[in-house]
Structure 1
Amino acid sequence: MKLFQQLLVAPAALGLLASGANAADLNINGVSDYSASEEQVTSITQFSDVYPTDWAYQALANLIERYGCVAGYPNGTFSGNRAMTRYEAAALLNACLDRITEVTDQLRRLIKEFETELAVIRGRVDGLEARVGELEATQFSTTTKLKGKANFVMGATKALGDNPGNMKDDYNAEYGAFTFSYDLRLGLKTSFTGKDLLFTRLRVGNQGDASVWDGNGVGLNKLDTGAPGGNAVEIDRLYYRFPLGSGFKAQIGALTRNTEMMGYKASAYAKGGQKVLDFFGGSLGTPGVWNKETGSGFGLIYTNKKSAGKGNPYWTLAANYIADSGEGEDSNPNSGGFMTDNSEANITSQIAYGTKRWGLAAGYRYGQCGAKFRTGTEFAGKGDTSCTVENKDGKEVRSDADSHNWSLHAFWRPEESGMIPSISAGVGASYSNGNDDWEDATEIREMASWMVGLTWNDVFQKKNALGAAIGQPRFVTKVDRKGESDFVADGNYAMELWYKFQVTNKIAVTPAIYWLSRPYGFETPDDKSVGVFGGVVQTVFKF
């Protein structure tokens, strides 16, 4: 094997050349003449300066005798103590690789014996290459992934119990029909660096003002997947998330959500299943803090998860600001704006500690005037923090209203699926304030809520799940009435039970029932009971 001949003809070896040299620096004719006159070494004994006592003697002998890819210098020496140039190293490596990959008679026999199988494999590889080429040619973006979720919703509700003032009959007459509706979400995830995320979500549905699933009839009917109505496609998420130093992530967007910037969800309820009522689902039983406010805003999340080590508990801290959609983009500061007195803004924060199996979290939300509380009894829905109220003289004046909302959450999951379920719990409280005019015009001062949820995974079959929850959606605990009793009986219990059938990896069917014992709360006439029973089947397709 000719030392520099291999160097000159092999691209693999040329790739190892020193960065400071190039082909123009070499005397190619001289090197070729030298290579042509050189004989291949066939035995280590041909080297006059290599002895059996040398530490690399055996290794060198193996290279010569097994692969025959070692050459010396014209004077019959190996010069093992001399520093090797990068050219010589490249030539030696390429020569040995050539010899190692030579087709031997034994290899030829194996190729012939498995000729049919090799042809099949080649055909499959060619087919895969063609399909990859087709996908690359037809993909709409090299940086964006599309994920979709379609939810078919079938079911009905019915008011049960007493019928004071025709309350039950009126409900059933307007909201008692069986319905079949849908919710479709298309999420576009775009990354420019591999660590950032531009998220755009398109959403369309037909669960609008005529559907109980969007919170009509009574607000507590609202499903976690309740969709907008009208079959009109809308963009309901548009934000950008990016790393900001060690352990920090920032998020900013014209349509972002405060509860999606908490960094840690201290709940395992419906994990592996399908959420039903909004109160137990996205609101985690504490709609005062987890009010799912969406609009223009920004947030910051910190976690020490990486430094804590795999499986160890870690801290998560998050804070965000959201101006309500409809106000944040309003250029009139008297009715809206971003970070103005009329933004209907929410400042939400949370501190959490835990792992994937257990966790604790404390949350706080400051609600500017007009900021929403989300689901609760019909009486609690009158909890008003509007930016203006009518004073005693009948004039519209500023209310200076706001709210302070707190939440505590905890969850635990068993290490393996079985008879013991995961347990999730949450409790929250809300306190409203305002000036004297607001106090004269309103009466609701404090509200509370709580929930406990159980989830069993892999029930009867892998990936199937069973869940049940009970709690009291947001209800009024304190009022302030001038010259009247401050007693209120606004309590209401909500319960749900569901079972998810995982039909395929991408299709799941979840039948569920729920009961609202007193959804009108204090609006229910004395000594009467009006409840709402609901049954729903959700079929989810993921793609």
Structure 2
Amino acid sequence: MFKVLWNYGLVIPVLFNVFFILSSAALAAEAPDLSELKSGVEGLSPSIATQPESNQTANLEVTKRPDYLLSQEPSLLSQETFTEQDDSLPQVNSVSELSDVQPTDWAFQAIQSLVERYGAIAGYADGTFKGNRALTRYEFAAGLNTALDRINQIIGSSTADLVRQEDLDTIKKLREEFSTELAALRGRIDAVDAKLGVIESQQFSPTVKLTGRVQFVLGSLFAGNNVITGQRAPRVVTLQDSVTLRLNASFTGKDSLGVTMGGGNIESLGQTRAGLLGTYDGRTADNANLTRPRNDLSIGGLRYRFPLDSKTQVNIYALSDGANELGFTVPINPYFESSLATGSNGISRFSRRALVYQYGDAGGGIAVLHRLNQQFQVGIAYSAPNANNPGANTGFFTGRYLALGQILYTSPEKNFRAALTYVNTYSPPNAVGLSGTNFGPAAGSNLVNSTVAGTGTVANLYGVQAFYQFSPKFAMNGWVSYGAHRYLGRGDGNAMDWAVGMSFPDLGKEGSLGGLFVGMAPKLTRLSSNVDLGAGLGQADKDLSLHIEGFYQYKITDKIDITPGFIWVTAPDSNANNPDSLFAWIRTVYRF
């Protein structure tokens, strides 16, 4: 494609004459037919100066914002919604407003005339003109639109001097010179219109969007024993799958109705005591639903979000995955969290969420979010895992519940966020949830997930989480959580976890992601002397167990990525007598 150099003007020797036209209604009849030329550039950018540089970074926040940074469907109160993005370029009223145009520049007088006499040039938002960038003939043709608009304004005002014949001749020559480009533009626009018509006729729904994800997981245990039997766990290579579909609809353009369906046969490394390792330690994140047949498609999420006003959002859900679907704007742990759109990042459940978010289970509830200002957001939520069950010790208000409050801070640069979280939760006696336990984080040691038979359990949970993006290619996150358990009528116990994660966006290839994670999975640190959770009276977890995880999510295309990774757990079940376990897998994700 032919290009000319954009040197401080609109190809000054030619367009200066165009912008210099001072016409009146008296010569309107003699002026060339501008409608034909104008129709060719209709819909294009109103000024060549408004065309962004191809290599210009639009935002330098957490900045590239790869797909996996947005781990869940954006909340209606997302920070991106709060921030008014004004990409329009301001009109320049004086050449002195352009910081990169100097009186010594060869084109200074021409630019000064175009700006201050005719108002025909716009500048970039940073106050520059960027006169040394190249433009295409198509951009040049688009720029003529500005000149034509200005000419029509002058003709319509009937206040200017007569149009000079040489200026009219210049316009005619320009129209002839760019006739090929204008015809090509019209053809491209017609082709786009035709394609748009096909899309509109064949789309799933004008108001409903369907997205999906398919995962294949090739994995195997390489080391480790079953902590209950003490026997060597099988080393069997498996190939497993999962499918997730989500329908998103909006009735007003501001609300959102989401329905999530899925199924699969991924067996978790550590999900129940009956699992491969006999412990919740090392539990993978994408395991199949324990209460459903394998590869059986079922509804896994149902929620409706709507704004009360510009600062407040309500999230009502009939079915959700505990605190993960409570409607909070952004995850504190973005590079390890998962989403339907991007597939999973972190391999384990523990690497994605702190203990304070883990005690929830699938069920119904409501969350209310309120933005205090650009930096602070508060939220409260109430969730009842057995809200649909009318039996004893169940229901929305009389069964197990989780009440959560959180304050979230996001820095003005959006490269730092932190949250303080409090949860109060209650589990009635002898109830069992979808995660295999009706109390506890469903991750970490067996004791921290245990209750006393026939006794209700209450917990107060406290969490501090933080994330910092040091550069576009390196970020860290971490958290500390503490839980105070009360086994009603029996005694108390304490739980704790902590973790540090490192993320490497664009590692090896743009869009790819590397992650390293180290932490102490949830464990029972103290137990009253008169309480027995299965290990003996007053027996809490004995030893420090470390969860070490790494993955590399390699982006093959925008819709496909492959992620090799591993989970290494030292002293599984927080017992140094248990040999370390090591699990590796390769996950392939297809999105549509």
Write the deviation string for residues 413-471 of structure 1: whole angstroms up to 9, x where unpaired.
Answer: 11432xxx3111111111122432xx1xxx76211111111111222222222211111
The structure whose Rg is larger is 1
Q: Which residue of 1 aligns with 2:522?
A: 474
Q: Which residue of 1 aligns with 2:324?
A: 259
1:379-418 alignment to 2 at 5 Å?
A: 379-384=446-451, 389=454, 399-417=455-473
Q: Structure 1 residue 531: deviation in Å?
A: 2.2
Amino acid at match of 2:447: A
Gaps of 5+ in 2: 1-21, 32-151, 158-162, 429-437
1:195 counterpart = 2:254: yes
Write the deviation string for residues 389-431 of structure 1: whole angstroms up to 9, x where unpaired.
Answer: 1xxxxxxxxx3531111111122111432xxx31111111111
Q: Structure 1 residue 252: deviation in Å?
A: 0.6
Q: Structure 1 residue 383: deviation in Å?
A: 2.2
CA contact (8 A) 1:259 1:291 kept: no
Write the deviation string for residues 484-509 of structure 1: whole angstroms up to 9, x where unpaired.
Answer: 77454053111001112111122111
Give the 3-state SS of the residue equivalent to 1:167 in structure 2: coil
Q: Which residue of 1 aligns with 2:312?
A: 248
Q: Which residue of 2 aligns with 1:532?
A: 581
CA contact (8 A) 1:269 1:423 kept: no
Q: Which residue of 1 aligns with 2:371?
A: 303
Change (3 A) 1:249 1:179: same
CA contact (8 A) 1:380 1:447 kept: no
CA contact (8 A) 1:164 1:528 kept: no
CA contact (8 A) 2:457 2:486 kept: yes
Change (3 A) 1:239 1:530: same
Name the stretch that deviates more: 483-492 or 184-193. 483-492
1:426-505 alignment to 2 at 5 Å?
A: 426-436=479-489, 439=490, 445-482=493-530, 486=538, 488=540, 489-505=542-558
Give the 3-state SS of the residue equivalent to 1:198 in structure 2: strand
Q: Structure 1 residue 291: deviation in Å?
A: 3.4
Q: Which residue of 2 aligns with 1:358?
A: 416
Give the TM-score, by structure 1 length: 0.68
1:84-99 alignment to 2 at 5 Å?
A: none
Higher relative CO (CA 8 A, sep ≥ 6), structure 1 or 2? 2
Change (3 A) 1:368 1:410: same
1:237-386 alignment to 2 at 5 Å?
A: 237-256=301-320, 257-260=322-325, 261-270=327-336, 274-281=345-352, 283=353, 286-305=354-373, 308=374, 314-324=375-385, 327-332=386-391, 334-340=392-398, 342=399, 344-355=400-411, 356-370=414-428, 371-384=438-451
CA contact (8 A) 1:196 1:243 kept: yes
Change (3 A) 1:165 1:349: closer
Change (3 A) 1:188 1:382: closer
Given the alignment, which residue of 64, 67, 70 partners 2:28? Answer: 67
Amino acid at match of 2:239: F
Amino acid at match of 1:66: L
Amino acid at match of 2:426: Q
CA contact (8 A) 2:481 2:496 kept: yes
Write the deviation string for residues 490-534 of structure 1: whole angstroms up to 9, x where unpaired.
Answer: 531110011121111221111101111122235xxxx62322100
Q: Structure 1 residue 153: deviation in Å?
A: 1.1
Q: Structure 1 residue 232: deviation in Å?
A: 0.9
Q: CA RMSD in A?
A: 3.5
Change (3 A) 1:435 1:225: closer
Report percent identity of matched pairs.
Answer: 22
Change (3 A) 1:366 1:207: same
CA contact (8 A) 2:445 2:521 kept: no
1:139 counterpart = 2:206: no
Q: What is the count of residue pairs matched by the alignment?
A: 416
Whole-angstrom CA distance in 2 between matches of 1:319 and 1:259? 13
Give the 3-state SS of the residue equivalent to 2:357 in structure 1: coil
Write the deviation string for residues 245-284 of structure 1: whole angstroms up to 9, x where unpaired.
Answer: 2411001121134333233432344379821111011x2x
Whole-angstrom CA distance in 1 between matches of 2:238 and 2:456? 43
Gaps of 5+ in 1: 1-60, 71-91, 309-313, 390-398
Give the 3-state SS of the residue equivalent to 1:414 in structure 2: strand
1:179 counterpart = 2:238: yes
Amino acid at match of 2:336: A
